[in-house]
């Protein structure tokens, strides 16, 4: 059993987004309080159980290659930053702890009420490769290019989709950290493909290219950059993880 635990631990450290390990704690915390239930829940998370709220959506179309989903409006907390700055050490997921502090995941909530806010899934990452397309979105990370001439600066926006109890931006507690922005996301439509395993850059790129090709083949107009949705903490065995690539369409 100890060797099995070490295997899980090694998997978590090899995963490229180590901050997401906090999700394990958050999902356990929000699921059950009894020791026995916590133990069962931990095993469930290791084997891919998703124990937190996820966004509501309607499947508009389903094919063997993708789904077209229409997502309901939601409220998000987001932070935008340049991961190349020294304090972020090149880590694209550095915003995770800023948002985790806002909702009170690891201590006192860093909002003005203060009020603890339940964690949701997935965590979403948006990459931009210089192609200018409009976008939106379970945590959400978006890469954006900016700057005046020369090499474009890569910015990252990470979002937590807040629980559905917060229907308007003004319903959510006001952040203490000025870097955290609360905003409303309207109804939106995505082409989505689901996959398991580790969502490495290479795997994600391959999934995005294939999905985009399928959508364009079937007459859908892509209107934004892709999102990478990650539902599980890195302690989840890779084959049981739920990842999704999402491309906004008209």
> 73-129+153-186 in CATH: which number?
3.20.80.10
Average pLDDT on 101-120 reads 93
Is pLDDT larger for residue 192 or for residue 40?
192
Average pLDDT on 118-147 reads 58
226 near 123, Cβ under 8 Å?
no
46-55, 63-72, 83-92, 146-155: lowest mean pLDDT where? Answer: 146-155
Average pLDDT on 136-155 reads 55
pTM of the predicted model, to two decimals?
A: 0.76
Maximum average pLDDT range among 21-35, 136-150, 200-214: 200-214
Number of C-beta neighbours around residue 177 at 10 A: 13
HEC profile of 116-128: CCCCECCEEEECC
Q: Which residues contact 219 (CB under 8 A, 6 or more apart)?
A: none
Question: Where are the domains positioned within the chain?
Answer: 41-72+187-249, 73-129+153-186
What is the model's pLDDT at position 125? 75
Residue 24 tokens read as: 């394990």
DSSP 56-115: -EEEEEE-SS-EEEEEPPEEEEEEEE-TTSGGGTT-TTTHHHHHHHHHTTTSS-SBSS--
92-96, 167-171, 224-228: lowest mean pLDDT where? Answer: 92-96
CA distance 215 to 4: 41
Is 222 strand, coil or helix?
Answer: strand
Is pLDDT larger for residue 10 or for residue 156?
156
What is the model's pLDDT at position 94? 82
185 near 76, Cβ under 8 Å?
yes
pLDDT digits (tens, 9 = 90+) for 78-89: 888 888 888 878
Q: Which residues contact 189 (CB under 8 A, 6 or more apart)?
A: 60, 68, 69, 70, 71, 248, 249, 250
CA distance 98 to 86: 16
What is the model's pLDDT at position 151? 55
7-16, 29-38, 112-121, 126-135: lowest mean pLDDT where? Answer: 7-16
* Chain centroid, CA 135 distance in Å: 15
In 3D space, the residue among 209, 240, 227, 203 whose CA is nearest the CA of residue 71 turns out to be 227
Counted residue by residue, the chain has a size of 250
91-100, 112-121, 129-138, 173-182: lowest mean pLDDT where? Answer: 129-138
Q: Is the pLDDT of residue 140 over 50?
A: yes
Q: Please provide the average confidence, as pLDDT, over all residues in the chain.
A: 79
- Quick one: pLDDT band at residue 112, thresholds 50, 70, 90? very high
4-18, 43-57, 200-214, 219-233: lowest mean pLDDT where? Answer: 4-18
What is the model's pLDDT at position 136? 39
Is pLDDT larger for residue 50 or for residue 66?
66
Helix, strand, coil abundance in the chain, percent, nearest 5: 30, 30, 45
Q: Is the pLDDT of residue 204 over 50?
A: yes
């Amino acid at each position: 059993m100890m060797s099995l635990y070490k295997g899980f631990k090694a998997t978590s450290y090899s995963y490229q987004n180590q901050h997401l390990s906090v999700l394990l704690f958050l999902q356990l915390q929000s699921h059950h309080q009894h020791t026995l239930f916590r133990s069962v829940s931990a095993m469930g998370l290791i084997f891919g159980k998703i124990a937190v709220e996820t966004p509501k959506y309607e499947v508009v179309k389903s094919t063997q290659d993708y789904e077209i989903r229409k997502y309901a409006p939601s409220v998000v907390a987001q932070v935008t930053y340049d991961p190349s700055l020294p304090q972020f050490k090149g880590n694209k997921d550095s915003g995770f702890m800023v948002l985790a502090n806002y909702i009170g995941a690891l201590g006192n909530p860093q909002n003005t009420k203060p009020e603890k806010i339940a964690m949701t899934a997935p965590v979403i990452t948006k990459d931009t490769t210089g192609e200018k397309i409009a976008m939106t979105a379970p945590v959400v990370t978006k890469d954006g290019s900016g700057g005046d001439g020369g090499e474009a600066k890569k910015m990252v926006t990470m979002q937590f989709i807040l629980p559905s109890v917060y229907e308007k931006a003004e319903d959510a507690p006001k952040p203490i950290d000025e870097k955290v922005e609360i905003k409303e996301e309207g109804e939106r439509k995505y082409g989505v493909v689901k996959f398991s395993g580790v969502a490495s850059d290479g795997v994600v790129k391959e999934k995005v290219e294939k999905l985009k090709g399928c959508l364009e083949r079937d007459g859908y107009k892509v209107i934004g950059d892709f999102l990478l949705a990650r539902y599980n903490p890195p302690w989840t065995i890779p084959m049981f993880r739920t990842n999704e690539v999402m491309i906004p369409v008209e």
